[in-house]
């Protein structure tokens, strides 16, 4: 399978690319480091549409959601395509967000909504991956237990091997992490 991955050089994207390659898939990496900034959605989409699957991983306010919507709308009648969206448990929180990134949370909520709408259509195959805290640059300042990026990649590919039942959304996190407490904590 030929898989396009945004943000393939760091964190979760890097782990997904590495796992995909070990399984024999061809990777089309789309990151700023190789000239693919997701704010240029048309340029990035032109590479994605040559692939069998798309991992929507790289975050940039507004543009990650815009790219996801573009891919879903263009692949909505393609029963051979797969779209994997990397979301966040932060999207389950309600405002006010206090010391949390409001733009990020609202974008993730919109992505979840898009994925849910397309899950009903049946094509393309979708997998919405809602993650808790993963050990990446984005969470480096959080002094809590974190999931490893390779564990996320392993879980995604293990889930994709299932065809009956077809899993369309997975949610996973470290044990006993209280997201509501994070949202009510005041800045110090």
Backbone angles phi, psi at 181, to 5 degrees: -65, -35
Q: What is the pLDDT of residue 180?
A: 79
Q: What is the pLDDT of residue 187?
A: 45
| Domain boundaries defined on the chain | 2-184
| DSSP-H helix ranges across 49-160 | 63-74, 102-121, 149-160
| CA–CA separation, 98 and 18 (whole Å) | 36
Q: What is the pLDDT of residue 185?
A: 53
pTM: 0.94
Q: What is the pLDDT of residue 86?
A: 98
Q: What is the pLDDT of residue 67?
A: 98
CATH 2.60.120.10 for domain 2-184: no
Under 8 Å between Cβ of 172 and 155:
yes
Q: Note down pLDDT in tens along the chain; length 188 residues.
A: 999 999 999 999 999 999 999 999 999 999 999 999 999 999 999 999 999 999 999 999 999 999 999 999 999 999 999 999 999 999 999 888 888 899 999 999 999 999 999 999 989 999 999 999 999 998 998 888 999 999 999 999 999 988 878 899 999 998 888 887 776 654 43
């Amino acid at each position: 399978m030929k898989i396009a991955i945004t943000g393939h050089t760091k964190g979760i994207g890097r782990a997904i690319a590495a796992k995909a390659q070990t399984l024999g898939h061809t990777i089309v990496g789309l990151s700023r480091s190789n000239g693919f900034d997701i704010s240029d959605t048309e340029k990035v989409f032109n590479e994605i549409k040559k692939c069998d699957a798309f991992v929507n991983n790289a975050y940039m306010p507004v543009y990650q959601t815009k790219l996801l919507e573009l891919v879903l709308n263009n692949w909505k009648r393609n029963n051979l395509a797969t779209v994997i969206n990397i979301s966040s448990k932060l999207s389950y929180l309600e405002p006010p967000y206090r010391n949390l990134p409001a733009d990020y949370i609202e974008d993730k909520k919109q992505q979840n909504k898009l994925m849910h709408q397309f899950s009903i259509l049946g094509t393309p195959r979708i997998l919405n991956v809602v993650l808790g805290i993963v050990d990446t640059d984005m969470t480096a300042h959080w002094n809590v237990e974190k999931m490893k990026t390779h564990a996320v990649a392993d879980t995604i590919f293990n889930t994709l091997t299932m065809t009956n039942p077809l899993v369309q959304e997975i949610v996973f996190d470290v044990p006993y992490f209280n997201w509501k407490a994070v949202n009510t904590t005041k800045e110090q």
